[in-house]
Amino acid sequence: MNMFKRWTTSVCASFDWMVSQVENHEALVASALREMQQAGAKARAQLKQVQRDGQTMRKRLLELEELEAAWKERALRSRESDNDAAIECLRRRKLVKREHASLSEQIEAHKRFEKQLTMDLKTIEERVAELKRRKNTLTARQYRNDAMQAGSAEEIGLIAEIDEIFERWEIKLDEKESLTVSSFDVFETDFIDAEEEDALRAELLNLANE
């Protein structure tokens, strides 16, 4: 268990050093994360086994308590009719009590081990989550830097060409919109002129009839 802890601590402590020393940072960090995740999976499996063992021991402890009570009851029932049998019952009760005491100590030690293993597993999971966050952050920064550094003459020319295409497109749309508005204005003017002429003719007719 101590060796396992030392290994995980060593992996965590060397993370910053690896990032500063190796060129292929992303691949190395991914490899380190896989190792820690595998270690976490092993610790998780071990913890489940430890928990099952603890349940088995606690179940056995209850059985011993019941057995101790049974031998005590048998001794009391046998003391008048068969003293030797009563003594044998007490002897077996004593053996059961001894096993009970030993198992109780084992259970306490087992609880401490289970608690420590749970804490170690939590530490590993938290560290893996932290390294994942740092990896994602650094990867995003790397992609951003790569994009910002894409400043060769050819790439700048391509960007300028794209901007020019957008500009020509926008000018063409403006021209079409202007033509549409102009056509609409001429069409409306024709109607207004005709309506005005009709009104003037009517006014002239009224004057002639006076």
What is the residue-level pLDDT of the chain in tens, covering all 210 positions? Answer: 555 555 555 555 555 555 455 456 777 778 888 888 888 888 889 899 999 999 999 999 999 999 999 999 999 998 888 889 999 999 999 999 999 999 999 999 999 999 999 998 888 888 888 888 888 888 888 777 776 665 554 555 656 677 777 788 788 777 766 655 555 555 566 666 677 777 777 766 776 676
The whole-number pLDDT of residue 182 equals 52
d(CA 113, CA 36): 21
Q: Is the dihedral of CA 37, 40, 46, 49 positive or negative?
A: negative
pTM of the model: 0.53
Question: First-to-last CA distance in the chain?
Answer: 122
pLDDT of residue 191: 63
Q: Which residue shows structure tokens 């928990």?
A: 51
pLDDT at residue 22, rounded to an integer? 46
Residue 48 pLDDT: 92
- Residue 108 has a pLDDT of 95
Q: Is 111 exposed, middle or buried (0-12, 13-18, 19+ CB in 10 A)?
A: middle
What confidence score (pLDDT) does residue 144 get? 75
